[in-house]
Structure 1
Amino acid sequence: MSGATVDLLRQRLSVLQPVSLTIRDDSHLHAGHAGARSGGGHYHVDIVAAVFAGKNTVARHRLIYDAAGDLMRGPIHALSICAEIPGAV
């Protein structure tokens, strides 16, 4: 399921028009965790997009969670995020 989840998340985040996007499945690091037992995975996103310009960390994360939508209530239990603007990394 994790490959499919990564693909779905990549599709959803494309609305943010990222210059760079890396998604890593860290679910294996959380084996036995309550969220893992219920089927939700742990993922890390590194994303660089102009849409984040002028936005604080909370606003950037909110854009990502909004784009991910219902994935956050099922296939994704936890999402670690690094969201930057082009030229800042």
Structure 2
Amino acid sequence: MSITNDAVAALIQAHIPDAQVTIQGDGYKYEADVISDVFAGLNTLKRHQLVYAAVNDAITAGQLHALTIRAKTPAEVA
């Protein structure tokens, strides 16, 4: 029982509304590129905690097994 890339993106966007989210996954391993101003001033751990909080229910339910997160601010991407 896996989750679609679009569903992972929707979970993150529901938790971090201004985020630009790109998900790549194969039903088991997923990679998330998340760009948001909310990450400004936060270290990598805090950024990842925000993203994990968004997808925690899917992890707990066994739908999402492995997630690699790249969380950046728009300025860091520019």
Asked whether the two chains share a fold, i.e. TM above 0.5, the reply is: yes
Question: In the aligned structure 2, how far is the partner of 1:13 from the partner of 1:68?
Answer: 7
Question: In the aligned structure 1, how far is the partner of 2:58 from the partner of 2:10?
Answer: 11
The count of aligned residue pairs is: 74
- Any residues of structure 2 matched to 1:1-89 within 5 Å, and which? 4-14=3-13, 15-16=15-16, 17-18=18-19, 20-27=20-27, 41-73=28-60, 74-89=62-77
Q: Unmatched 5+ residue regions in structure 2?
A: none
Residue type of the partner of 2:22?
T
Do the aligned partners of 1:5 and 1:75 also contact (CA within 8 Å) in 2?
Answer: no
Q: TM-score, normalised by structure 2?
A: 0.83
C-alpha deviations, 1:50-72, integer Å up to 9, x for none?
Answer: 11111000000000000112111
Do the aligned partners of 1:25 and 1:43 also contact (CA within 8 Å) in 2?
Answer: yes
Structure 1 residue 10 displacement after superposition:
1.3
C-alpha deviations, 1:3-54, integer Å up to 9, x for none?
Answer: x432221111112121x21100145xxxxxxxxxxxxx11000110011111
Q: TM-score, normalised by structure 1?
A: 0.74
